[in-house]
Structure 1
Amino acid sequence: MKIDLSGKVALVTGATGELGRVIARSLAECGADVALHYHSNESKAAELKSAIEAMGRRAVAVKADITKQGSVEEMKQAVEAGLGQADIVVANAVVQYQWTSVLEQPAEDYASQFESCVMQSVYLAKSFIPAMIEKKGGRFIGINTECSMQNFPTQSAYVAGKRGMDGVYRVLAKEVGEHQITVNQVAPGWTISERDRANGTERSEGYEQSVPLKRRGTDQEIANAVVFLASDLASFITGAYIPVSGGNVMPSI
């Protein structure tokens, strides 16, 4: 048994980010052609595009503002022109900001998280799911976070955006399930990235002690969960919020 995404077209938003590029490469390694969304890092998008093409897969790099419906629709048109209709959509992009307390957090940070978590997902659904309905199948995957269950101090804007996103995904899963489209979320813990490896910051003993597996997860382990959900092996999984956090958070029943 193996994951084979041959003949599939995947879109990854925020593909030039630390996690996004590992997800994109992993999808390509399993046979998918990949559309690489970026907001400003054109050089990294071009580098990633070349790397995926070197695997023998097709790739396109597409610049877009995922917080604007018109820009997302233009991205869809570019993806279809370059690769064809998307079978797999991975909503990974999110606006970065400085975390602080509720009393000190600027109001615009709450707006940015709502736009990049909730509205990105809505715009992606409106643009890409109609074609999935026509084809009677597809995978819609969002990157959430363990923070949605933690609700720790200084997390409020991020948690607000991601918990709102969670509501959209759960409802959407029920609305499009009859078309054999699955809608799921992967919720990473504090993940070791390429930047951590370069800077020697992989370890965090305080955090690791709270994790049952006593370590931080890797970007590849997060990407593995995404690839699984994108595959036929996950054809009967929908509406799920799946922590990939070493047991640091555990949804209850």
Structure 2
Amino acid sequence: MTHAETPGTALITGSSRGLGAVIARRLADDGHPVAVVYRSGTEAADAVVADIRAKGGTAEAFAADVTDEAAVTRLVADVTDRLGPVTTLVVNATGPQPEADPTTVTWQDHLDQLTFFVKSPTLLMQAVVPAMRERGGGRIVQIGSDVLERVLPEMSAYTAAKAAQHSLTEVWARALGPDGITVNTVAPGWIPVERHAGAPAEALAAYAAAVPLRRMGDPEDVAAAVSYLASPGAAFVTGERIRVNGGHTLG
């Protein structure tokens, strides 16, 4: 995406709810036609699309398993047909994140996390890059985590996969830079969304007390970082990992 171009199509995985839905709405506000991608929950995806359209934006919902190669190929082809070539890819989809002592974690536990955070991003990147190259550039933003700095023993499989995901960001940034494609990671802290509805109030309070800004983050904080990285203003930013956690992991 060059400075002179209007915003092109943004594809956001896992965007029927949670962080992805807020990111989708924000990029639509920025002028991008938005592909709201979901695996299940048609009504939730349709609601995000309706919200965007109600504000004058352009959006379509697409059901896809973004861990399946054939499904990803079909997804990108469908999005291109209905909304235009993907110029911004936001890799946000995630799955269950079970907690377990590292001495009991199985290889399948690791594979499950690597499927979401290495396999899926790779399939998506490979599917969108040809069109980005044709247009002379694009943006890839991966949603990571500050769990790398927190070193939580019960999250070893998730942490390893998230570390691998950001390593992909750095390698892709170097490999795709000559094509004008930037690749970055946004690494949120604990940002409460729908799946945290049952979190104890005392846990939320304890976490917020440990954050230098003395509050929990909002999904809009993450969406703002993604918006920046997708904008012309971030044209010279690549290979970075931006923590959005209020300073929680400062040394």
TM-score in same-fold range (> 0.5): yes
Deviation at 1:197, TM superposition (A): 7.8
**Is 2:192 aligned against 1:189?**
no
Whole-angstrom distance in 2 between the partners of 1:102 and 1:224 = 35
Contact 1:9 1:83 in 2 (8 A): yes
Q: Tell me the residue number matched to 2:142.
A: 142
SS for the counterpart of 1:36 is strand
Letter in structure 1 aligned against 2:235: S
Scaled by the length of structure 1, the TM-score of the pair is 0.91
Whole-angstrom distance in 1 between the partners of 2:159 and 2:200 = 28
1:1-253 map, 5 Å: 6-193=6-193, 201=201, 204-250=204-250
Contact 1:23 1:220 in 2 (8 A): yes
Contact 2:110 2:161 in 1 (8 A): yes
Please list the CA deviations of residues 48-71 of structure 1 after superposition, one character each: whole Å capped at 9, or x if unmatched.
111111122221111111111111
1:110–1:32 Cα change, 3 Å: same
Contact 1:11 1:34 in 2 (8 A): yes
Please list the CA deviations of residues 138-195 of structure 1 after superposition, one character each: whole Å capped at 9, or x if unmatched.
0000000000222212111111111111111100000010111110000001113356
Deviation at 1:130, TM superposition (A): 1.2
Contact 2:45 2:61 in 1 (8 A): yes
Contact 2:97 2:158 in 1 (8 A): no
Letter in structure 1 aligned against 2:65: D
Contact 1:5 1:31 in 2 (8 A): no
How many residues are paired up?
248
Between 155-164 and 95-104, report the one with greater CA deviation. Answer: 95-104
Whole-angstrom distance in 1 between the partners of 2:15 and 2:156 = 25
Deviation at 1:107, TM superposition (A): 3.3
Deviation at 1:108, TM superposition (A): 2.4
Letter in structure 2 aligned against 1:27: L
Deviation at 1:34, TM superposition (A): 0.2
Whole-angstrom distance in 2 between the partners of 1:246 and 1:57 = 31
1:94–1:65 Cα change, 3 Å: same
Scaled by the length of structure 2, the TM-score of the pair is 0.92
Whole-angstrom distance in 2 between the partners of 1:166 and 1:108 = 21
Please list the CA deviations of residues 185-239 of structure 1 after superposition, one character each: whole Å capped at 9, or x if unmatched.
0000111335668989597232123222122111101110000100001111000
Whole-angstrom distance in 2 between the partners of 1:200 and 1:150 = 20
1:198–1:109 Cα change, 3 Å: closer
Contact 2:138 2:181 in 1 (8 A): yes
Whole-angstrom distance in 2 between the partners of 1:246 and 1:141 = 20
Letter in structure 1 aligned against 2:31: G
Q: Any gaps of 5 or more consecutive residues in structure 2? A: none
SS for the counterpart of 1:104 is coil
Whole-angstrom distance in 1 between the partners of 2:221 and 2:200 = 19
Contact 1:133 1:179 in 2 (8 A): yes
Whole-angstrom distance in 1 between the partners of 2:23 and 2:198 = 19
* Root mean square deviation of aligned Cα: 2.2
- Identical aligned residues as a percent: 35
